[in-house]
């Protein structure tokens, strides 16, 4: 038998850590670079806007309302005569903050509740399933309007928390289903039979194997959240002026799409780049964390 094994032995195993794998993927660097630029913009919108023409997003000139891209205004001006580029740059911080914070909060709640429901099942599962039903059945806009209207001050953090409050159930259901299917796997049974504790089994075996689809949905969720913020803002219960966000710009611009399309196109472009980069990064990380995708 030993000859048999030696005969089938593969060539020396190369180092195949997560880092060694992602390093070789050009898409990894592309998406990382795009997100890096967005983060720098979010940190220092002023100096960058100054470099590209208009440093102040609130220095508006109504006589230049709805100008197409041109001298001094590389992205043109919006309906109030404000520089679109400056607004997009200054909106990056708020929008990224809301998108990422909401998703992170959702993920946290969904992972905890979904794992408890999926792994332990029984009464815990039934309670959590009914809870998600309540949240899913509750009209999101109505709930958001009630909560946000009763808040004394509507900061981006509050908006993020409210958005997360109403969007975790779908993710929690996904986690629950994913965990349930892994829970039935033989290696989880084997871990039970070896006398491992629940904590060890959940953190060491169940969660790593059920995260794949959850992360894929979570990365696409960021874009959805940024747009949802704009919906709330459009209805007058989201962010308030003078806050600047992509969502605000998009909701203003949609009315004037035919006369000033650039006011819609440029913020959407930034939103798209953000979402696509996150999705690509998520995909690459998922592949790299799966040993089968690595070798």
Partner 1 sequence: MTPPVLSIDGLTVDFRTSDGTVVPAVRDVSLDVGAGEIVAVVGESGSGKSVTAMSVLGLLPPNARTAGSIRLAGTELVGADAARLASVRGRRVAMVFQDPFGSLDPVFTVGFQIREVLRRHRPEMSAAQRRSRAVDLLRLVDVPEPESRVRAYPHQLSGGQAQRVVIAMALACDPEVLIADEPTTALDVTVQREILDVLLRLRDTAGVAVLLITHDMGVVADVADRVVVMRHGAVVETQDVGPLFATPRATYTRELLAAVPRLEAAHRPDPEAAEAVLTVEGLVVEYQRRRRTTRAVDGVDLHIASGSVLALVGESGSGKSTIGKAVTGLAPVHSGSVVVDGVDAVDSPRRTLRALRRRIGVVFQNPLGALDPRHTIGEAVGEPLRVHRRMRGTALDRRVGELLDAVELPGPWAGRFPHELSGGQRQRVAIARAIALDPVLLVADEPTSALDVSVQATVLDLFRHIQRELRFACLFISHDLAVVDELADRVAVLHRGRLVETGPRVDVLTRPAEDYTRRLLEAAPVPDPARSRRAAARLAG
120 versus 234: smaller Cβ distance to partner 1: 120
Query: Least distance to partner 1 from the beta carbon of 186, Å?
Result: 4
218 backbone dihedrals φ, ψ, rounded to 5°:
-60, -40
Query: Least distance to partner 1 from the beta carbon of 283, Å?
Result: 16
Query: Least distance to partner 1 from the beta carbon of 208, Å?
Result: 5
236 versus 291: smaller Cβ distance to partner 1: 291
Beta bridge partners of 70: 73
65 versus 209: smaller Cβ distance to partner 1: 209
1 versus 51: smaller Cβ distance to partner 1: 1
Nearest CA among 228, 100, 90, 101 for reference residue 158: 101
10 versus 51: smaller Cβ distance to partner 1: 10
197 versus 259: smaller Cβ distance to partner 1: 197
Query: Least distance to partner 1 from the beta carbon of 195, Å?
Result: 3
Beta bridge partners of 77: 83
Rounded-to-10 torsion of CA 39, 41, 46, 49: 180
Q: Which residues bind partner 1 (CB under 8 A)?
A: 1-2, 4-6, 8-10, 13, 185-187, 189-197, 200, 204-205, 208-209, 289-292, 295
Q: Looking at beta carbons, which pairs linking 277-280 to residues 24 or more positions away fall under 8 Å?
A: 277/30, 277/31, 277/32, 277/34, 277/35, 277/38, 278/31, 278/35, 278/219, 278/222, 278/223, 279/216, 279/219, 279/220, 280/27, 280/28, 280/30, 280/31
Query: Least distance to partner 1 from the beta carbon of 291, Å?
Result: 4
Report cis status (omega within 30 of 0) of the bond before 242: yes
Query: Least distance to partner 1 from the beta carbon of 268, Å?
Result: 33
Longest Cα pair distance anywhere in the chain, in angstroms?
Answer: 87
């Amino acid at each position: 038998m030993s000859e048999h094994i030696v005969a089938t032995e593969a060539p020396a195993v190369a180092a195949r850590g997560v880092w060694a794998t992602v390093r070789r993927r050009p898409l990894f660097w592309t998406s990382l670079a795009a997100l890096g630029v967005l983060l720098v913009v979010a940190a220092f919108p002023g100096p960058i806007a100054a470099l590209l023409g208009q440093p102040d997003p609130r220095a508006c000139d109504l006589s230049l309302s709805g100008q197409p891209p041109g001298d001094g205004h590389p992205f043109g001006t919006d309906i109030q005569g404000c520089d679109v580029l400056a607004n997009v740059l200054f909106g990056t911080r708020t929008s990224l903050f809301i998108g990422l914070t909401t998703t992170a909060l959702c993920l946290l709640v969904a992972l905890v509740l979904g794992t408890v429901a999926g792994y332990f099942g029984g009464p815990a599962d039934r309670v959590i399933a009914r809870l998600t039903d309540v949240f899913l059945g509750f009209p999101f806009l109505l709930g958001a309007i009630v909560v946000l209207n009763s808040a004394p001050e509507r900061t981006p953090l509050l908006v993020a928390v409210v958005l997360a409050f109403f969007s975790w159930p779908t993710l929690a259901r996904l986690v629950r289903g994913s965990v349930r299917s892994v829970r039935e796997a033989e290696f989880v049974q084997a871990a039970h039979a070896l006398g491992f504790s629940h904590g060890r089994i959940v953190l060491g075996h169940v969660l790593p194997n059920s995260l794949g689809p959850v992360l894929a949905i979570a990365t696409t969720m960021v874009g959805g959240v940024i747009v949802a913020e704009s919906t709330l803002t459009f209805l007058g219960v989201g962010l308030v002026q003078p806050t600047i966000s992509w969502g605000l710009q998009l909701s203003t611009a949609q009315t004037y799409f035919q006369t000033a399309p650039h006011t819609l196109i440029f913020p959407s472009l930034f939103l798209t780049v953000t979402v696509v980069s996150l999705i690509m990064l998520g995909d690459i990380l998922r592949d790299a964390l799966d040993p089968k995708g690595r070798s």
